[in-house]
Amino acid sequence: MPDWSRAFRNGGRASYKGAGFWVEIDELQGGRRVAVHPIAGGAWLAEDMGRRVGVYRPTAYVASDGVIGEGKALEAACNSEGPGFLSLPMDALVAHCDGFRRNRDKDRNGLIAYDLIFIAEGASASAGLSAGAAIRAGFSANFGSVSVAVGASARFSAALGF
């Protein structure tokens, strides 16, 4: 049986455009796009239209003595224009932040929770973030491990065909 405390990259630490956060729930929506064509008599044809766009919906939080600054940095990254490098416990990719919802509970001082929505960058990703930028993004998020940043960069580069 795997050691689940070590099964995921950085124990749940993640980042977007260099703004670090922790992931409580890591959700991905994917699959295939299927067009259904009805035919007279109650029959139909199902046509495979290709891969569905990946939508990542992590439930995240920041928690530290500098929680307000960390939260504002994450919000600024999500509000900034263009795609950025997203590193999650199970995935590393170039993505757009499609939205976020902040939740601060008065009974949980020192912690700010976020529901985040990221859309995977399409075929034009090769013109965006380079492998070197991916490594720098990993280090700026305080991963503290060269192998994690290089591993994320390798997966990112392989996905783009570098």
Mean pLDDT along residues 80-94: 95
* pTM of this structure: 0.69
What per-residue confidence (pLDDT) applies to 150? 40
Mean pLDDT along residues 128-151: 45
Q: Domain limits at 74? A: 9-28+55-160
97 in a domain, yes or no?
A: yes
39 in a domain, yes or no?
A: no
Helix 146-160 to helix 131-140 angle (10° resolution) is 150
44 in a domain, yes or no?
A: no
Beta strands in 31-91 (DSSP E): 32-39, 43-51, 55-56, 59-63, 84-87
**Contact (Cβ atoms closer than 8 angstroms) between residue 46 and residue 35:** yes
Mean pLDDT along residues 4-32: 84
128 in a domain, yes or no?
A: yes
88 in a domain, yes or no?
A: yes
Q: Is residue 2 pLDDT above 90, yes or no?
A: no
145 in a domain, yes or no?
A: yes
Q: What CATH code is carried by the domain that includes residue 63?
A: 2.40.30
Q: Is residue 18 pLDDT above 90, yes or no?
A: yes
* pLDDT bracket for residue 135 (50, 70, 90): very low
What per-residue confidence (pLDDT) applies to 70? 95
46 in a domain, yes or no?
A: no
Q: Is residue 142 pLDDT above 80, yes or no?
A: no
98 in a domain, yes or no?
A: yes
In the chain, how many domains are there? Answer: 1
What per-residue confidence (pLDDT) applies to 76? 98
What per-residue confidence (pLDDT) applies to 107? 72
Name 56's bridge partners.
28, 118
Q: Which of 71-80, 104-113, 144-153 reaches the highest mean pLDDT?
A: 71-80
Tokens of 10: 């950085």
Distances in Å between the alpha carbon of 143 and those of 58, 60, 76, 138, 152?
Answer: 18, 16, 20, 6, 11
